[in-house]
Each structure stands twice: as C-alpha cells, then as structure tokens.
C-alpha cells in the first residue's frame, strides 16, 4: 500500500476544490489521474474519503484528518527543500574547503569570498593524507593540495606550479649558496615532516632519484613547527615554495634535483560532488590560474 505524496496532494486538492475536475486543473494533471489516485487510496485501505452532496465532493472526517497530516508532511518537504537550497545557494550556502598549504589555497578562498560574500566558508587544514581522506569521505567539499594524483574519482583544476625547496637558518653556510644538491643536504642535520605530508613525499622521491637515503634527526607533524625549528638553528627543513607568506628567519634554497619537475597545487573534489557553489569555486580557481 503506497501512501505517496502524489496521492495525498490529489486528496487535498479535491477536498479544497470540491471536484475531480477542479483538482485536476489546480494540479495541472488529467481528471482521470485525480480520480484514480483518490479511488485507489480508498480501495487499498477500505475507507471513504468523500461524500457527494449537491454535486460537490465533501471530505469525510477521516479525510480532513488525513489532509491535516498531508499538510504537515508538505511543510516538512518544503523545509527540507529550503535546507538543501540554502546549502547550495550562492546567496546563502556553505562550502567546506580543505587546505594542505596556507598558500595559495588561502588566496583562492579569499578571492572566492570577495566574489560570493553570502556563502559561508569553513576551512580545514591538515596533511595531504588528511585532506584527501576528508574529500573522499565528504567531510570537505573541495581540497587544495599539491601533487594530487590523476584519480578518475576526482575533478581537478591546476591552480599554480609547485616546487619543494630546502630552508636553512639565515646564518647557515648554505644560506649563501644559490642552489643546493641532494648530496649537499645529506651532509646536514635534516628535519623531515611526517609520512602523510605531501612535502615529505616529494622530498623522499627526490632523494630516491638521487640514490640517497638520508635519515632525519628530527621529524615533525606540522609545517609551522618545522619552520620554527629551522629558524632556531636546529637544521635544514623542506617546504613547498609558495606554502606560506612568512619570510623571517630562514633562507629558501632551490634544490638542483627538483629542477624541471612538473608539480601543481591542485583544486579537486569528488566528481559526484556538484552544485552551484562547487562549480563557482572551480571557476574562481581557473580565473586565478596563470596562463602559459
């Protein structure tokens, strides 16, 4: 027995208009459709919803109670639709963005906010692994990370070229060198990021290509902690070149083995994640992407 919204709408329309024909006009359907909905409901449940009097269909007490319930259900459906629309509307919606690096992702978030000030922005930060997992589990609508794999599950848009550089304390001897090599870095106390970091993945690949397997003397979870450790003279660390606007206390050192590698900071979402807000975010990213 199917108590569908269409049947309830038909019952309410007949109760309000007093005839199948008027109800059909109100709902923009045929009269046989309306009569079939009402009579089918009466037959399936063994009830009577209307009585005919002076050519009009008048609702029974049971029908009036059913109409009250149907009206509450319609209000609940309308509220659910308003909730869904408010989540996806460019005037009052919401988007959750996951960032691995503060920059250039935060610059993109700022540009999107200027373009669509009515959209509420929530920003999550974390490692490459954390943000990728958040996108896959729908905890984030969109992620902005370097070195995002070409996965068919993802919709992607490259935002900017990305490159890992070494950072050394300003007073360190390497701070005066224009470019360092993997071998030169191996001769220094190294500070690594945890394995879930995109920075560390790129660094590990770089050393592997050079046939080297250095061991760090210190491993840190957060980029800010690594930056402070280097600035305080503890050793040589690594970060994405444009990952932070900070420039105090450290020298950025290009790495010879990173030259010529094409890596991008990438905006990505699940291909199944769609809607006005997500589309607008991708359009904003594409407008900020430097053209070759």
DSSP class of residue 190? B
- Helix then strand then coil, in percent of the chain rounded to 5, is 45, 20, 35
Given this structure, which CATH class describes domain 164-258?
A: alpha beta
Q: Where in the chain is the domain with CATH 3.40.190.10?
A: 94-161+263-288, 164-258
User: In what helix (H) or strand (E) does residue 124 lie, and over which residues does it extend?
Assistant: strand 120-125
Q: What is the pTM of this model?
A: 0.61
What is the CATH code of the structural domain delimited by 94-161+263-288? 3.40.190.10
pLDDT digits (tens, 9 = 90+) for 197-237: 888 888 998 999 899 999 999 999 888 889 999 999 999 99
DSSP class of residue 19? S
pLDDT digits (tens, 9 = 90+) for 34-78: 999 899 888 888 889 999 988 899 999 999 999 998 888 888 887
142, 280 Cβ separation under 8 angstroms: no
Number of residues that make up the chain: 292
What is the CATH code of the structural domain delimited by 5-88? 1.10.10.10
């Amino acid at each position: 027995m199917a108590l569908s919204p269409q049947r309830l709408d038909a019952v309410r329309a007949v109760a309000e208009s007093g005839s199948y024909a008027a109800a059909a006009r109100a709902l923009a359907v045929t009269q046989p459709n309306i009569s079939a909905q009402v009579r089918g409901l009466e037959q399936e449940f063994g009830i009577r919803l209307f009585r005919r009097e002076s050519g009009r269909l008048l609702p029974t007490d049971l029908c009036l109670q059913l109409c009250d319930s149907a009206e509450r259900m319609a209000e609940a459906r309308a509220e659910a639709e308003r909730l869904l629309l408010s989540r996806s509307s460019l005037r009052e919606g919401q988007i959750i963005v996951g960032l691995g690096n503060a920059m250039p992702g935060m610059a993109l978030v700022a540009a999107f906010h200027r373009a669509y000030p009515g959209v509420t922005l929530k920003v999550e930060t974390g490692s490459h692994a954390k943000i990728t997992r958040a996108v896959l589990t729908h905890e984030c609508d969109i992620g902005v990370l370097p070195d995002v794999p070409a996965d068919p599950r993802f919709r992607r848009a490259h935002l900017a070229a990305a490159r890992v550089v070494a950072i050394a304390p300003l007073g360190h001897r390497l701070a005066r060198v224009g470019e360092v090599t993997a071998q030169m870095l191996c001769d220094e106390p190294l500070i690594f990021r945890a394995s879930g970091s995109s920075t560390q993945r790129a660094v590990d690949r770089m050393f592997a290509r050079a046939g080297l397997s250095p061991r760090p003397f210190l491993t840190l979870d957060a980029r800010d902690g690594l930056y402070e450790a280097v600035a305080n003279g503890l050793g040589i660390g690594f970060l994405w070149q444009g990952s932070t606007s900070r420039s105090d206390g450290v020298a950025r050192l290009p790495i010879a083995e990173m030259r010529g590698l094409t890596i991008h900071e990438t905006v990505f979402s699940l291909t199944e994640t769609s809607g006005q807000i997500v589309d607008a975010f991708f359009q904003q990213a594409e407008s900020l992407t430097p053209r070759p």
